[in-house]
Amino acid sequence: MYEEIREQICSHCWHGVERPCPDLVTCLTKGPVCHEDKAAAKARRDITTRLRRDKLTKRIIYVGAGTCGLGAGAGKTLTAVRTYLARRDMEADVVEVGCIGLCSAEPLVDVQLPGMTRVSFQGVTADKVDDLLDKVFRGDLPEPGMILGQFRSDGLTSWDNVNYLDQHPFFAPQTRWVLVNCGIIDPSSIDEYIARGGYGALATTLRTKTRQDVCDAVEKSGLRGRGGGGFPTGRKWKFALAAESEQKYLICNADEGDPGAFMDRAVIEGDPHRMLEGMAIAAYAIGASKAYVYIRAEYPLAIARLKHAIAQAEAYGLLGDNILDSGFDLHIIIKKGAGAFVCGEETALINSVEGKRGMPRPRPPFPAVRGLFDKPTVINNVETMANIPGILARGAEAFAAVGTEGSKGTKVFALSGKVSRTGLVEVAMGTTIRTVVFECGGGIPKGKKYKAVQIGGPSGGCIPTQHLDINVDYESLKTVGAMMGSGGLVVMDEDTCMVDVAKFFMEFIQRESCGKCIPCREGTLRMLEVLQRITRGRRAEQGVEALERFQGVMYLNRLAQVIRDTSLCGLGQTAPNPVLSTLRWFRDEYEAHIFERRCPAGACSELRTFVIDAEACTGCGNCKPKCPTDAIVGAPQRIHYILEEKCIGCSGCFDACNHGAVHLAELVPVAAAAPAARDESDAVVGVFSKGAFRDWHDGRGLIRE
Ligand SMILES: Cc1cc2nc3c(=O)[nH]c(=O)nc-3n(C[C@H](O)[C@H](O)[C@H](O)COP(=O)(O)O)c2cc1C
């Protein structure tokens, strides 16, 4: 497929790096423009139609082969598809596409037969391939559970009784600008991108717009940076445009360090040319001739696709010297990062690209004035870049028509956690969190209750039930102590302990702090210690230790403010957010941990104990060897018991029991102190009855199922 679109159509034209044609993209997509030749125009149209798969001569099988798909077994599915075709000596194109967004349904396989619309199937593991292809090639369909939906296409016959993909609850609320091609086109084919209008915005920009025009258009669109801060992109570009320098740089930030975030990776894996086109337009707008993509080395597939895409774009004269004969040069270099979270911070990132240790620098001067190698530098996120071609192609007004007053366009979220459908969701700004979680995500699995969604990663906060109807936009989210961040959206159910969540983020931040400034290095460690103390079991705590524990909690708020106000970079400045947010919305959980030594969600292992339901226990003994502290007693075929004082709440017995006999005992303290078991015969911690409260037989407390 590669280079197909560039085939010489007639004797008049030839495009290439050596002889760049300013009309290349128009010529490729709309037919030859330099001369009137009906045959050539038809040949060009035919190629484009085929590349857009509007007309097929051969069957096509698409396999979702992004990192998420491959993780779900798409590699084996691909092999099974190829084996199927080879064994039957059948002709079909096999296309590896990126992720369409519904990661939880992977491996995804789409089949398109000539004249018919493309149908998408979910959960296609290797063992299901033969049966699926047998049926679909015969014109039948597999069981409805496997069918995700069919694509809408004018001029193609649709399948009976198959819903359209855009009606699927996951896709229906979405508005796709950035992900429009992801999972649909072959990311390794520049031809397919061009055939769908790709590089058209760059061509028009270079031909018809001044740098100032481009900056104005982006400013007018209202686009704000998608990397977390939400700074107006057009304004940032104007600072760099105004800076006088013989050399300027553009950096695309693909570090993506937030836990739970995978939007940027998916965009690069699924549609790398969109980001490259955005970068080329951005570089032109600010006058940069050299650009970097800073991407973590843990993204090997994204890096490979990016390398390939850059090489293709250079071969087409869409990157490199004298792009489309415009006099504009742009060379893009991939810079791999080692995956330190702080390297996503723009000044640390600059240090890292310069070959120094990734530590932040004080600002001002801002990078747009003095950045990489002390030259004016614009740093933008992958999603920000991927929005640019759409803005230039469809117009600033069209982009600004989507979203809210202060937040225009769409936002891509990586939806994960306790939600039925996980994956990438792109919604218009202003969509509610409820829509994202309960419509796109399909709500909370196993009949559990929603507790919160954590948004914005370590810099963000939680959104509790009472604020589920809040709009996704930069300002609204701040009113509830959360923030947009880069797009990680982790859903939590009733089994999630919010103190544990705060501890998780603080551990992350503490580990990732570069250590340059004291408030961040020491302050986050102190915060972590406070959280560790309140989630720890009683052990042999002395009075003074108890006092320290309470004191730490009392100072938590003040400590948070000091860290926020005095840290050098955004990492420290936002580090206390998850703690402050959970404290604000889930104070009762903190209090249960601090005053009652109880974890209401049953998640903090040191604060929980397991019990065995005597009625359900079969005496199989599966649980016993799984207990690392020998807390389980009981003879074979006899009821087993857990010694409370030995139980460390690891849940090994719970996981091992096939009879549902092991339960979490949520201890409600009573005035009487529990006497310690004297020996095994005295070690019966409770008689357990399903769905009921029961007094402990020895009066030590209550056990709640
Ligand atoms: C600790 C820290 C980590 C960050 N990580 C990223 C990142 O992985 N990707 C990103 O685009 N921005 C990240 N940012 C924000 C960038 O510093 C910068 O604001 C952003 O790349 C600018 O691009 P935008 O205007 O398009 O959002 C991070 C900021 C901080 C403080």
Q: What is the pLDDT of residues 177-200, one digit of tens each?
A: 999 999 999 999 999 999 999 999
Judge whether 148 and 102 are in contact, CB under 8 Å.
yes
Residues whose CB falls within 8 Å of the CB of residue 87, separated by 6 or more in sequence, listed in order? none
Judge whether 251 and 379 are in contact, CB under 8 Å.
yes
By CB atoms closer than 10 A (0-12, 13-18, 19+), residue 356 is exposed
Region of 267 please: left (phi>0), alpha (psi -120 to 50) or beta: alpha
How far does the centroid of ligand 1 lie from the alpha carbon of residue 436, in Å?
23
Counting from 1 in the atom list of ligand 1, the atom nearest the Cα of 512 is 1
Judge whether 105 and 53 are in contact, CB under 8 Å.
no
How far does the centroid of ligand 1 lie from the alpha carbon of residue 344, in Å?
5
Q: What is the model's pLDDT at position 440?
A: 98
pLDDT in tens, 647-659: 888 889 999 999 9
Q: Which residues lie with the beta carbon below 6 Å from any ligand 1 atom?
A: 225-229, 231, 253, 255-257, 341-342, 344-346, 379-381, 384, 486, 569-571
By CB atoms closer than 10 A (0-12, 13-18, 19+), residue 593 is buried
Q: What is the model's pLDDT at position 44?
A: 76
Counting from 1 in the atom list of ligand 1, the atom nearest the Cα of 349 is 17
The structure tokens listed for 451 are: 């507790």
Q: What is the model's pLDDT at position 303?
A: 98
Distance of CA 613 to the CA centre of its chain: 41
In the predicted model, is pLDDT for residue 45 greater than 60?
yes
Residue with CA closest to ligand 1 atom 5: 344
**In which element (H, E) is residue 348 found?**
helix 346-353
Write out the E strands in 255-323. 290-296
pTM of the full predicted structure? 0.90
DSSP state of 386: H
What is the three-state SS of 74-142? HHHHHHHHHHHHHHCCCCEEEEEECCCCCHHHCCCEEEECCCECCEEECCCCHHHHHHHHHHHHHCCCC
DSSP state of 525: H
Q: What is the model's pLDDT at position 687?
A: 27
CA distance 196 to 193: 5
pLDDT in tens, 141-180: 999 999 999 999 988 999 999 999 999 999 999 999 999 9
In the predicted model, is pLDDT for residue 695 greater than 60?
no
The structure tokens listed for 151 are: 């694509």
